[in-house]
Chains A and B, each alone.
Chain A
Amino acid sequence: MRRRTLLTAAATTALAAGCGGPSASSSSSKSGRGRLTYGVWDVYQMDAMRRAAREFEKTRPGVSVDVQLTPNGTYWTKLRTACTSGSAPDVFWMNGPNFGLYADAGQLLPLETSGANAVLDPDDYPADLVSLYRWNGTQYGAPKDFDTVALWFNKELFDRAGVDHPDASWTWQDLIVNAQRLTDRKRGTYGLAAPVWAQEYYYDSIAQAGGWVISKDRKHSGYSDPRTREGLRLWVDMIHRYKASPTLQQLTDTDATQMFQSGKVAMVQDASYNAATFYADPELRAKVDVAPLAKGRRRATIIHGLANVVYARTAQPELARDFVRFMSGRRASLIQGKYGTAIPARNGTQQTWADAMPRFDLKVHLDAVGYSVPYPISTNTAAWSHQELRWLARAWSGDESLTDATRSLTKAMDKLLAQEGKGGAR
């Protein structure tokens, strides 16, 4: 998972102004006092989270919720330590790559999915998100938001090169040919940026080529499958063969999103959570738009989303479950959508997110759910995703052939997955 690094806080404030008042409906208010802590990591979502927490407090007199922000860089380190010592927040954000570790170690409380005490109804959310937070048949997370990946493009650069804007009909071939046409050596602009990013680039292209990252039983790496390699080759070729992307060195010195924002590249594959950043810059707002990812052997995008989870050793399991029910529920989702920082996971509330940024064709990101592929995870995802980045960077930079790099990667990843089987990560 790539961290959001360059965002401006302006996005949230601008959009918050358009946020309507609280709805009049009030859920059955129970009595009881209590103080809940809610751990989050994204400063740009703080306003929306605080707002939703206030709404929850209104439905539960005597209850107060303390939204605690820990920056992404230290969130996981701190949370692990807090879980070890029994002092983690009652409810906190979880992501796919970290979920396996927490669920497997029994750090999370199961959430009922049916009956009178149901915390969530699986049918209310995209299926891939619900299954992302299920471990050995038990549900541990209630989806909070999601992000899909799409092709963001700079209209100005397209028009200058006389290339038609991308649309749903684009295949990999169109992507390659047009990226080359958009590359202008004299001006130093490129058709497309191809960094070593998992969620936005190679996980998507692997799925589009019909390959796979990890086996269903989470025991084997898919990096030696020829189709998986085909998905990776698209980006390596984009740099070395078609010369339509900046080199990995250039992309190391200047971030791909940054290059896109400054008009150095015409196209970038980006997740929906960056839409608010682009929208916040008035100049960029007028210049860029979004289209579906180009089709390979099939159409695919990676879907990933966060979930609200309950800490296993919370002092107030019932209150915490109620809070999760609320935060992943309809009202909190509508609030979240209006702030525009993330697509709410709850079905029927997602349009609010797109409506918050009417100048972009954000339907693309919402429709992508129809052909999405879940984010690949195992118990200790972080360990092998580090190996992915390390080895794939060697292929991207041209230091090693893709075949050699993926061979080493397969070996390293299989070894780590075998260690997981022995419970090494706990």
Chain B
Amino acid sequence: MSIDTRPTAAVPAPRVPAAAPGDARARRRRERRFLHRDKWWGYALIAPAGLGLAVFYLWPVVETLYYSFNDWGAFGGTTWTGLSNYRTLVTDPEFWHSLGNTAIYTVLVLLGIPLSMLLAVLLNLKGMRGTGVYRTLYFLPVVTMPAAVAVVWRWLYNGDVGIINQALSVVGVHGTYWVSDPATVHFAVAVVGVWMTVGYNMILLLAGLQSIPQDYYEAASLDGAGRVRQFFSVTLPLLSPTVFFTTVLSVIQSLQVFDLVYLILGANTGAGITNPAYTDGETVVMLFFQKAFYDNQRGYGAAIVCALFVLILALTAVQFRLQKRWVHYG
């Protein structure tokens, strides 16, 4: 995003019809000098934040990119290996598998957006009682630590003593080992992912809903549109910028998912890698973590995250391109 610093955009220069040309030139000079000074002030004010960004984000990004072209040993010794890490990457079945898992997770979590919208619409209905309570309840998982969430869900999903299977057994269904069965692990993990993000998306969408002027609905009902028609013809188009925003954020966050899946699979307990569903649950960032910090192949780890970075960049660019077809501003 670029910030427009030209004066005309922010403050249109006032037209003064009757003024001598010399006066105008002098004023423009003064204005320029002032703006010149002003610009430096601006830079000085954003310097602390910018410096932090440069030191803690931009520089590591550059370094990681550099290391992805190196063999980087456990104690910092590097040797330039060119594209070798990337060649390994494209032929590594584990990488493609983890990418597939991450893609499935991302798609499943995106399905949570319609759900968030439904909740937002319900909470926005006139005459709904206790909306404050529900808003808080749905938002609670967002402010809970992923580690705590994962540990609790792991217990809920436990095949032998988990509450989910106990509930199922009441109705005569024999539940599976949800997070150690390759057939269910994607689904089980995504449910938690949706559960954790639904509140956040809901709050954003709710804000979007509340910013739609009532006049549109009045006009629509005068024209004879019912509630459903109103939703699809008025609410949805006007909400589309918010939906777009939540979608972009969801995709970025889902592609980077790590701690939640890592802990649900039990990787922190040492039972993780031997989990029969591990290869079907492993995300790209988990693979990076394994390679870089356990297997001491840090150059290769850097290549994995660089590939992910490019992928996220590309996907987001595509989304911005596509938004012209469905997002309505104003």
Residues of A within 8 A of B (CB): 2-3, 5, 73, 77, 80, 83-84, 101, 105, 107, 188, 195-196, 248-255, 380, 382-383, 386, 389-390, 392-394, 396-397, 399, 424-426
Contact = CB atoms under 8 A, between A and B. Distances in A.
B290 interface: yes
B278 interface: yes
Nearest to A394: B276
A188 B177 CA distance: 16
Given A253-B162, A424-B71, 18 more contacts: A73-B268, A105-B75, A105-B77, A195-B271, A248-B276, A249-B276, A250-B160, A252-B271, A253-B154, A253-B159, A254-B158, A386-B273, A386-B295, A390-B274, A393-B274, A397-B276, A399-B276, A426-B74
B295 A383 contact: yes
A80 B75 contact: yes
A84 B76 contact: yes
Contacts of A255: 269, 271
Given A105-B75, A249-B181, A252-B180, A382 B295 contact: yes
B179 interface: yes
Given A390-B273, A393-B273, A425 B293 contact: no
Given A107-B75, A382-B296, A425-B296, A3 B269 contact: yes
B77 A252 contact: no
**Range of interface residues on B (Cβ < 8 Å):** 35 or more
B269 A101 contact: no
Interface SS of B by simple majority: loop
11 contacts: A3-B269, A5-B269, A5-B270, A196-B274, A252-B276, A253-B177, A380-B295, A390-B273, A390-B274, A392-B274, A397-B276
Contact of A393 (B71, B75, B162, B278): B278
Interface string B118-140: 00000000000000000000000
Contact of B297 (A249, A253, A383, A392): A383
Given A254-B158, A382-B296, A386-B294, A426 B269 contact: no
Nearest to B293: A77
B266 interface: yes
A390 B280 CA distance: 12
Contact of A383 (B154, B276, B278, B296): B296
Contacts of B71: 424
A254 B159 CA distance: 9
B73 A426 contact: yes
A101 B279 CA distance: 27
Contacts of A251: 271
Interface in B150-176: 154, 157-162
B180 A248 contact: yes
Nearest 8 CB-CB pairs, A to B? Answer: A397-B276, A252-B180, A196-B274, A393-B274, A249-B177, A426-B73, A84-B76, A249-B180
A393 B275 contact: yes
Contact of B73 (A73, A386, A425): A425
Given A105-B73, A105-B74, A380 B296 contact: yes
Nearest to A384: B295
Contacts of A254: 158, 160-161
Given A77-B293, A392-B274, A425-B296, A253 B73 contact: no
A389 B73 contact: no
Contact of B177 (A101, A252, A390): A252
A253 B179 contact: yes
Contact of A83 (B75, B162, B266): B75
A196 B182 CA distance: 17
Contacts of B271: 195, 251-252, 255
Interface in B256-274: 266, 268-271, 273-274
Contacts of A248: 180, 274, 276
Contact of B159 (A101, A105, A250, A425): A250
A398 B73 CA distance: 36
Nearest to A1: B270
A171 to B, nearest CB: 27
Q: Which of B73, B77, B271, B279 has the largest count of A CB atoms less than 10 A from its CB? A: B271
Contacts of A425: 73-74, 296
A265 to B, nearest CB: 12
Contact of B275 (A5, A83, A252, A386): A252
Nearest to A77: B293
Contacts of A107: 75
Contacts of B162: 253
Contacts of B275: 252, 393
B270 A386 contact: no
Nearest to B292: A77
A425 B75 CA distance: 9
B177 A2 contact: no
Nearest to B294: A382
Contacts of A84: 75-76
Q: Which of B157, B276, B277 has the largest count of A CB atoms less than 10 A from its CB? A: B276
A3 B296 CA distance: 19
Contacts of B73: 105, 424-426
A425 B273 CA distance: 22
Q: Which of B162, B268, B275 has the largest count of A CB atoms less than 10 A from its CB? A: B275
Contacts of A426: 73-75, 77
B270 A3 contact: yes
Contacts of A393: 273-276, 278
Q: Which of B74, B179, B294, B296 has the largest count of A CB atoms less than 10 A from its CB? A: B74
Nearest to A246: B160
Nearest to B162: A253
Contacts of B297: 383
A426 B181 CA distance: 37
